[in-house]
A and B are shown apart, each in its own frame.
Chain A
Amino acid sequence: MTSTPSKAGAATPATLSKVEQAKADLCGLELAPRLKDLAAAGWEAMDEATLTIRLKWLGIFFRPVTPGRFMVRLRLPNGVIRAEQLARLADSVDRCGEHGSADITTRQNLQLRGLLLEDMAPLLTDLEAVGLTSRQSGHDNPRNITGNPLAGIDPEEWIDTRPLVEAIQAALLGPGGPRNLPRKFNVAVGGAPDSFLLHNDLAFLPAQRGADLGFTLMVGGFFSAQRNALAVPLGLWAPAEALPLVTRAVLLHYERHGNRTQRQRSRLMYLVDELGLEGYRRAVLDTVAELGGDEALAALEPHDGSHAVQRAPRNLCGVHPQKQPGLYWVGLNVPMGRLDAAAMMGLAELARSYGSGELRLTESQNVLISDVPGAHLAALLAEPLLQRLPVAPGPLQAEAVSCTGNRYCSFALIPTKTTAQAVVEQLEQRLELPHGVRTHWTGCPNACGQPYLGQIGLMGAKARQDGQMVEAAKIYLGGSMEGGGQLAALHDKGVPLSDLPDVLEALLVEHFGARRRTAEATAAPDR
């Protein structure tokens, strides 16, 4: 049985938008064999749809702020990367000189900047050689699938999310996976009590059903300039082995019925709204049956949506014992998630020298080195690179999350990363905080920096100061990632960046128990 097409999803060729027309004309994956020729002809020779839309199917992003210098976004399922893979990426960034850098994203992923179009064909070949891919990592595709960054080493985990995330990715990138979604789609798998994932279109949260541990399905979470929503329970429970097929079914249904006429109203939650939760659940079940038959359908059970995720994510920086006796993970803070080639090479070397050669990327844009024997800890902690990437960052620095900002993004209204770093450093000099405070910085209403999840959220804006328009930030307060979560609410519609440290200082004192340091302490040389 198949679902009835929804009204919004039924776009006829005559009504296709520019994006939909581009996707319908040619799938970006078809460009892979032509990359070398495209580079030889130059990016200016490409039509706009190829340059700005189709290349993203290969993970290649034209950057309007740095035309000619491209970005490549990878896929790192569950945020896991091996040292030799990171070293290979570091080499690509290194040869871009002053233009090269890499950002850890809020989806446990990496994106490389500063690349020339000539770099793409050899880079994609090299990625494949070291077991990486950048396929379908941008635009209307299922984005990098996130999981517990501590999967497999976490003393608190309910379930190791790595094989599940891998299996879902394989299902989505395989022959039956989606190639032309109406919009982007975020999938995540929780495995621990602090796996807050309700900002995803589809989140699998660990949930008991009787004696069985499986996952309850949450759907519809997303942020945008128009609307922000946390995922809601779909009322279904699935065993771990069903996750790839269920994900395919959800995406297949979305591919068929999502809104293709209004891109601002095409994320999954709008489809849920249109069909109603009950109608949407039935449609998903129908699609599961279509793909997997009665046996697949029988694996799914009704569920009340209760789950085992109750806490906000841990601060993963520092030295922590793994569930494997004698081994530790060492969490390093990457200021605002930005790495240069030297830091990438250094991290790869540290992982090889002191751990098992594996690294993990976190949604808070930090990096973990796993499997470090206790006997190696002292030497690792003495490594010079840890001066730049500290294991014990300040309470604001540890979980400060930032979008790219206007250095690379034409939507951003402020230089997000540099502003965030400067303000955080100032505040940590001025204040003592009893606990960490999550600040989320984003440059525009698209909310890539997830400001609504921050205990303090900041969004780039403009404001008038002394009669002139200046760069500013809106302030949001009250975001929570505990239990059912809560979105931050607007507190101030525009604080000039020059006033931001003072305003945030007052907020931290008033709402978060911060205490002002004495003048002597502030002036101390080690601060």
Chain B
Amino acid sequence: MPSSAHLDPAPDPRQLPSPGDAERWLWLQALRRLPRLPLEPWLVALETGAIAAESDLLACLLPHGNGAELARLLEWWVRQPDPVPPLPRLPGPWRDAVVAQRLRQLLEQPLAPQRQAALLALLGHQREAVDATRLCRLLEQPGARAVRHGALEGLSLGLAAWPRRLLRGCLERVATDLDPELAAGAVDLLDRLPAARLSLIPLGRRALEPEVAARLRRRIARRGADPLLLVVHGRSGGLVPPELVELAAELEQRRGAPVALQALTAEPPGVGPHRSENRPLGLVPLLLLPGSHVRTDLPALRANLQRSGPVRCWPFLGAWTAWQQALAEELAGLAATGQPPWLLHHPLEEGLPSRYLSHLTHCTAAVPVAAAAQDVAQRLEAKPCGAGMAPLALARCRLTEALSGQDDAMASTPLLCRPALRAVLLDLLESLP
């Protein structure tokens, strides 16, 4: 019986017992256990057909190879006539610059789909960000099913290495593919990405194959959601306008997790509401401007809450790109007369708040107008005739009340009471982890 202790350190391939020989299995195991095995004679034997490329043999040889030897093996494999011999997807130094380069070269050649698919999986193993574009393209573009599946497997095997935005966009598109297996695979990969709900929840609103939709529901249900604390400005005495209370209630139902409100005008909470043992508390500032509440009160609140458990603090709402886009669309609807709409806001400090407002103005093409509640009527005298107007206020406040006497009833409507903006905000909040 051969053992690694008794096997020649450089055994001759011609001595390998043929398949079916009772000694072959023991011989191969001894080969596998050798501390080092020069592969050159074995590669030559394979290339010349002196020995057959049986999978049991390859399983023992490959761990001994280096990148150049494996690249050579790939060349040999690609040249083999049909039927395609099994590509040795076996341990060895597959992640290697030489192998990666050879894989890219081979993938430029016209290859049968099955072979291309096998190479794409190996390319994924390389985990080189530069290959993400190729893998995403082959996954998305119409083509042989095997190739697309190979690209998906390549993306799966190198998941952590790909540029996140590119990968997320690609997978979100493939999740709606008509091939349910590909779509399901895309959903499962999205589920493995950080903050997966940001992708999964919006997917649920799109037309998916029934089995993919069912899979998506399972993923979302399993993932669950953080309890949220929505931080709002509030009114004097800690009162919270009813539209915010309704928003929180609807959001809680849609997320299937606790949602509470915290007015900055109220006493700060103790440990925070509905703390979960296994999940952080999501702290969501529904604040539209980076004023002192955002810069001072919010960090204090977060520090207070962190004493009783982990907190995941989100940027203030005004900074969310999706919110800015939605606001721009809402205001664009007010510019029907050709006059840019006015965006009324509380007077701001210089510095960050002013810079933010400049950015918002750039995004929305609205005219920012600072007005304290008591000055509203005076400021409105300068408003061009026909120009639309909206308050930069999420919920009812002194500013919206001061505007309530306007002919245009919508002029005083807080942003949260505008259906399109409310829907966007609910969707965004629902998607949070």
Q: What is the interface of chain A, defined by CB distance below 8 A to chain B?
A: 18, 39-42, 44-45, 48, 51-52, 62, 64-69, 91, 94-98, 116, 118-119, 129, 225-226, 262, 264, 406, 410-411, 413, 444-445, 461-464, 469, 472, 493-494
Contact code string B14-37 (vs A, CB < 8 Å = 1, else 0): 000011101011100100010100
Tell me if B89 and A44 are in contact (CB < 8 A).
no
Tell me if A95 and B191 are in contact (CB < 8 A).
yes
Q: Chain B residue with minimal CB distance to A96?
A: B188
Contact code string B324-349 (vs A, CB < 8 Å = 1, else 0): 00000000000000000000000000
Tell me if A95 and B29 are in contact (CB < 8 A).
no
Enumerate 25 A-B pairs (CB-CB under 8 Å) in ascending A order: A39-B160, A41-B160, A42-B95, A42-B125, A45-B95, A64-B59, A67-B90, A68-B125, A69-B157, A91-B222, A94-B215, A94-B218, A95-B191, A95-B219, A96-B188, A97-B184, A98-B185, A116-B157, A118-B159, A118-B160, A413-B56, A444-B25, A445-B26, A462-B19, A462-B24
- Give the distance to chain A from B190, nearest Cβ to Cβ, in Å: 10
Residues of B within 8 A of A461 (CB): 20
- Give the distance to chain A from B395, nearest Cβ to Cβ, in Å: 38
Which one, B1, B63, B161, B181, contacts A226 given CB within 8 A?
A: B1
Residues of A within 8 A of B55 (CB): 406, 410
Give A95 to B18 CA distance when docked, in angstroms.
41
Give A69 to B56 CA distance when docked, in angstroms.
19
Does B396 belong to the interface (CB within 8 Å)? Answer: no
Tell me if A68 and B156 are in contact (CB < 8 A).
yes
Give A278 to B219 CA distance when docked, in angstroms.
58
Give A493 to B1 CA distance when docked, in angstroms.
18
Q: Which of B177-220 contact A (CB under 8 A)?
A: 181, 184-185, 188, 191-192, 215, 218-219
Known: A67-B125, A116-B156, A410-B59. A42 touches B181 (CB 8 A): no
Interface size (B, Cβ < 8 Å)? 43
Tell me if A62 and B20 are in contact (CB < 8 A).
no
- Give the distance to chain B from A69, nearest Cβ to Cβ, in Å: 8
Known: A42-B161, A226-B1, A445-B25. A463 touches B20 (CB 8 A): yes
Known: A44-B127, A52-B91, A410-B56. A68 touches B35 (CB 8 A): no
Which one, A41, A45, A65, A444, contacts B90 given CB within 8 A?
A: A65
Give A51 to B35 CA distance when docked, in angstroms.
17
Tell me if A225 and B26 are in contact (CB < 8 A).
yes
Does B278 belong to the interface (CB within 8 Å)? Answer: yes
A-B interface contact total, Cβ < 8 Å:
94
Residues of A within 8 A of B56 (CB): 410-411, 413
Give A251 to B301 CA distance when docked, in angstroms.
54
Q: Which of B44-69 contact A (CB under 8 A)?
A: 55-56, 59, 63
- Give the distance to chain A from B251, nearest Cβ to Cβ, in Å: 25
Residues of B within 8 A of A45 (CB): 95
Tell me if B20 and A464 are in contact (CB < 8 A).
yes
Tell me if B218 and A68 are in contact (CB < 8 A).
no
- Give the distance to chain A from B28, nearest Cβ to Cβ, in Å: 9
Give A462 to B35 CA distance when docked, in angstroms.
28
Give A1 to B182 CA distance when docked, in angstroms.
64
List 14 extra interface pairs beyond A52-B91, A67-B157, A494-B20, CB under 8 A.
Answer: A42-B95, A42-B127, A62-B91, A65-B89, A65-B90, A67-B89, A68-B125, A95-B191, A95-B192, A116-B156, A118-B160, A461-B20, A462-B24, A469-B20
Give A472 to B20 CA distance when docked, in angstroms.
9
Does B42 belong to the interface (CB within 8 Å)? Answer: no
Tell me if A51 and B91 are in contact (CB < 8 A).
yes
Q: Which of B292-351 contact A (CB under 8 A)?
A: none
Residues of A within 8 A of B20 (CB): 461-464, 469, 472, 494
- Give the distance to chain B from A131, nearest Cβ to Cβ, in Å: 14
Does B158 belong to the interface (CB within 8 Å)? Answer: yes
Tell me if A469 and B158 are in contact (CB < 8 A).
no
Q: Chain B residue with minimal CB distance to A474?
A: B22
Known: A65-B90, A96-B188, A463-B20. A225 touches B125 (CB 8 A): no
Residues of A within 8 A of B125 (CB): 42, 44, 67-68
Contact code string B87-129 (vs A, CB < 8 Å = 1, else 0): 0011100110000000000000000000000000100111100
Known: A96-B188, A413-B56. A67 touches B91 (CB 8 A): yes
Does B3 belong to the interface (CB within 8 Å)? Answer: yes
Q: Chain A residue with minimal CB distance to B52?
A: A469
- Give the distance to chain A from B123, nearest Cβ to Cβ, in Å: 12
In the complex, the 10 A-B pairs of residues with the closest C-beta atoms, listed nearest first: A44-B95, A68-B157, A462-B20, A462-B19, A410-B59, A469-B19, A40-B160, A95-B188, A42-B127, A64-B90
